Amino acid sequence: MVISSFDDWRQEARRLVLAGVAPHEADWQGNTGLLDGLLDATGSGDPPRTLRIPRALPELLASAARFRAEDRWALLYRVLWRVVTGDRSAILAGDSDGSELHRRIKAVRREAHHLHAFLRFRPCQATEVEFIAWHEPAHEVLDLGAEHFIGRMGRTRWAIATPDGAACFDGHALHYRHPCPPALTRLAKVVDERGDALWQTYYQSTFNPARLNEKAMRGHMPVRFWQHLPEARLIPQMVSEARAGQQRLAQAADVGERDGKAVLIARERAQPARPTTSALQDCQACAIWRNATCAVPGEGPQQASIMLIGEQPGDLEDLAGRPFVGPAGQVLNDALLAAGLERDALYLTNAVKHFKWEPRGGSTSRGATRLHATPKPAEIQACRPWLDEELNRIRPRVVVALGRTALASVLKMHDPQRIRLADFGGQAIRHEHFWLLVAPHPAAILRSRGDAEVRLAELVAALEQANRLAHEA
Ligand code: URA
């Protein structure tokens, strides 16, 4: 039997407990078939004589069941089994199962709050729905959060579409649909921007640049929701404006204190002597920082034997503060999979740490789409100390330069445009303390017309070669 809901689990768990099947004998992983077999057998545990459980337990278990995790049914069963066999510490926060249970309940509550806070209805053209929202909750909280909107939206007909299910209010009653009908998904994903200006104006009016705390902001408003929030498009610009304002104030104060040394101070700031991640966030060695949300540091294990270097963070990386999480990151993930490499085992970074962009169509209006702009040689050079620091700290055996900018930075060549990638293709070069391989950049693969498959194959081949070199004695 497939366990697809808490009710399914509850029925099966009850039968297993009564059959004396201990948690280690029940395999809930696949959620299919295995339980039926087990039910015919008798477990080795002592079945409890009665099923007495604390009154609060079903609610705790039901809440934790909303947390998406492979072991969700197994954890619930372990807790249930321990409680019915007399060990009530299983639901206490000081117990290992209990603390995991409470952590999940808390995460579910938080996700229900996110549904209220970060869901945005947009006007919809369809006759049966006037307002529609797309939301991607991390856990199963749609039915926990959807009712909240009945009071908010009056008698209007609205729908919330999610990757799993939908909540539809027809003006009188709320109905849940599982799975979400494809037509509703399509409607929800077609963004009708009428009304966005209102959100943006509201957000701008509540944004206080003097109290900007980017870390807290990312904590309260997880970046994964930003792409569906109209006001999020304003954040990078408001953040950089706020930073520039702070910077002006700080400089004015410094200059006031140290008469005549302003140039020196600026130079000290521009060339941090010993790079650290927090210093990276303060880097102003070139002008790109002004329009970026944050500097994106490299990520991966400190002992990684392979380092991949891209050009610079893109739009989503700039919002998330992590490298290769956008569309180019997807291409890279596919290539890594094809090459049999685990992303988590590699160190991923970029030659340039800030996202350089320009508004689409040259407009500077707020909320404009941010288009990637190629970093200039001087900007690549200004960022080079950060890459050096990473190369010295990680000391990879193999470096894969993804595209020209990365290659120019590694080889300390001034102008990437003078490099012909074909001259390096398929050959490992011994450079400093590592092997250097050159591969097409995943974003170039995305953009390429006609030869995307060939270039993807080149990327995969370079990654496979990196893997071989990293494991050679
Ligand atoms: N994302 C990155 O982090 N780097 C790139 O070069 C492109 C996308």
Confidence class of residue 203 from pLDDT cuts 50, 70 and 90? confident
Ligand 1 pocket, mutate which of 316, 318, 324, 371 (most atoms under 8 A from CB): 324
Give yes or no: residues 329 and 363 share one domain: yes
Closest atom of ligand 1 to 316 CA is 1
Domain count, the chain: 4
Give yes or no: residues 182 and 197 share one domain: no
Q: Which residues constitute the domain of residue 198?
A: 193-268
Residue 151 has pLDDT above 70, yes or no: yes
**Residue 407 near residue 424 (C-beta atoms within 8 A):** yes
Report the pLDDT value the prediction gives residue 361, as an integer from 0 to 100: 59
Among 3, 144, 142, 143, smallest CA distance to 73 is for 3
Taken in order 288, 290, 294, 295, the sign of the CA dihedral is positive
User: Which of 268, 290, 309 finishes a domain?
Assistant: 268
In angstroms, how far apart are the furthest CA atoms of the chain? 87
Closest atom of ligand 1 to 405 CA is 6
**Residue 173 near residue 166 (C-beta atoms within 8 A):** no
**How many angstroms separate the alpha carbon of residue 470 from the centre of ligand 1?**
23
CB atoms closer than 10 angstroms to residue 248: 10
Residue 140 has pLDDT above 70, yes or no: yes
Q: Quick check: pTM over 0.75? A: no
Residue 313 sits in a domain whose CATH number is 3.40.470.10
| 216 within domain boundaries | yes
**How many angstroms separate the alpha carbon of residue 239 from the centre of ligand 1?**
21
Rounded to whole angstroms, the Cα distance separating 45 from 20 reads 5
Q: Would you state the structure tokens that stand for residue 267, as one six-digit string?
A: 């130079």
- Helix, strand, coil in percent for the chain, rounding step 5: 50, 10, 40
**Residue 442 near residue 349 (C-beta atoms within 8 A):** no
* Phi, psi values for residue 66, rounded to 5°: -80, -15
Closest atom of ligand 1 to 311 CA is 6
Report the pLDDT value the prediction gives residue 460, as an integer from 0 to 100: 94
Give yes or no: residues 390 and 312 share one domain: yes
Confidence class of residue 75 from pLDDT cuts 50, 70 and 90? very high
Among 310, 457, 443, 432, smallest CA distance to 383 is for 310
**Residue 135 near residue 155 (C-beta atoms within 8 A):** no
* Phi, psi values for residue 433, rounded to 5°: -100, 15
| 314 within domain boundaries | yes
Region 208-228 average pLDDT: 75
Ligand 1 pocket, mutate which of 350, 390, 409, 446 (most atoms under 8 A from CB): 350
For 405, left (φ over 0), alpha (ψ -120 to 50), or beta?
Answer: alpha
Rounded to whole angstroms, the Cα distance separating 340 from 346 reads 12
> To which H or E segment does residue 243 belong?
helix 235-257
Ligand 1 pocket, mutate which of 288, 317, 405 (most atoms under 8 A from CB): 317
pLDDT averaged over every residue in the chain: 84
**How many angstroms separate the alpha carbon of residue 385 from the centre of ligand 1?**
18
Closest atom of ligand 1 to 310 CA is 6
The residues, ordered by sequence, that sit 6+ positions from 427 with a Cβ below 8 Å of its Cβ are 437, 438
Residue 222: exposure state from Cβ atoms within 10 A (0-12, 13-18, ≥19):
middle
Closest atom of ligand 1 to 403 CA is 6
| 210 within domain boundaries | yes
250-298, pLDDT tens digit by residue? Answer: 454 444 444 444 444 444 444 433 445 668 999 999 999 999 989 999 9
Confidence class of residue 34 from pLDDT cuts 50, 70 and 90? very low
Rounded to whole angstroms, the Cα distance separating 200 from 220 reads 18
Give yes or no: residues 465 and 324 share one domain: yes
| 358 within domain boundaries | yes
User: Which of 131, 156, 188 finishes a domain?
Assistant: 188
Residue 417 has pLDDT above 90, yes or no: no
Amino acid at the residue 176: Y
| 273 within domain boundaries | no
Range among 43-57, 232-246, 353-367, 457-471 rated most confident: 457-471
Confidence class of residue 473 from pLDDT cuts 50, 70 and 90? low
Give yes or no: residues 308 and 408 share one domain: yes
**How many angstroms separate the alpha carbon of residue 430 from the centre of ligand 1?**
25
173-195, pLDDT tens digit by residue? Answer: 999 999 999 999 999 887 767 67
**How many angstroms separate the alpha carbon of residue 321 from the centre of ligand 1?**
11
Region 13-19 average pLDDT: 91
**How many angstroms separate the alpha carbon of residue 311 from the centre of ligand 1?**
6
Pocket of ligand 1 (CB under 6 A): 310-314, 317, 323-324, 326, 328-329, 350, 443
Give yes or no: residues 178 and 311 share one domain: no
Residue 45 has pLDDT above 90, yes or no: no
Give yes or no: residues 108 and 122 share one domain: no
Residue 324 has pLDDT above 80, yes or no: yes
Residue 167 has pLDDT above 60, yes or no: yes
Rounded to whole angstroms, the Cα distance separating 148 from 146 reads 5
| 402 within domain boundaries | yes
Give yes or no: residues 360 and 409 share one domain: yes
Give yes or no: residues 93 and 125 share one domain: no
Report the pLDDT value the prediction gives residue 418, as an integer from 0 to 100: 83
Rounded to whole angstroms, the Cα distance separating 220 from 414 reads 42
* Phi, psi values for residue 326, rounded to 5°: -95, -160
Report the pLDDT value the prediction gives residue 221, as an integer from 0 to 100: 77
- Higher pLDDT residue, 204 or 407? 407
**How many angstroms separate the alpha carbon of residue 312 from the centre of ligand 1?**
5
**How many angstroms separate the alpha carbon of residue 322 from the centre of ligand 1?**
9
CB atoms closer than 10 angstroms to residue 327: 14
Closest atom of ligand 1 to 441 CA is 6
In the block, residue with structure tokens 């409470």? 102
CB atoms closer than 10 angstroms to residue 470: 18
**How many angstroms separate the alpha carbon of residue 23 from the centre of ligand 1?**
45
* Phi, psi values for residue 361, rounded to 5°: 70, 15
User: Which of 97, 114, 131 finishes a domain?
Assistant: 114
Three-state SS for 149?
Answer: helix
Preceding peptide of 385 cis, ω within 30°: no
> To which H or E segment does residue 444 belong?
helix 442-447
Give yes or no: residues 389 and 406 share one domain: yes
Among 188, 199, 119, smallest CA distance to 152 is for 119
**How many angstroms separate the alpha carbon of residue 229 from the centre of ligand 1?**
23
**How many angstroms separate the alpha carbon of residue 440 from the centre of ligand 1?**
12
Rounded to whole angstroms, the Cα distance separating 243 from 293 reads 9
Give yes or no: residues 160 and 172 share one domain: yes
**Residue 100 near residue 145 (C-beta atoms within 8 A):** no
Among 68, 94, 73, smallest CA distance to 28 is for 73
Question: Which residue owns the Cα nearest ligand 1 atom 1?
Answer: 324
**How many angstroms separate the alpha carbon of residue 314 from the centre of ligand 1?**
5
| 298 within domain boundaries | yes
Question: Do the strands 122-123 and 131-134 form a parallel or antiparallel pair, or are they unpaired?
Answer: antiparallel
**Residue 320 near residue 223 (C-beta atoms within 8 A):** yes
Q: What percent of the chain has pLDDT over 90?
A: 57
Closest atom of ligand 1 to 328 CA is 8
| 1 within domain boundaries | no
**Residue 401 near residue 442 (C-beta atoms within 8 A):** no
Ligand 1 pocket, mutate which of 312, 319, 405 (most atoms under 8 A from CB): 312
Give yes or no: residues 109 and 131 share one domain: no
Among 407, 443, 442, smallest CA distance to 422 is for 407
Report the pLDDT value the prediction gives residue 49, as an integer from 0 to 100: 65
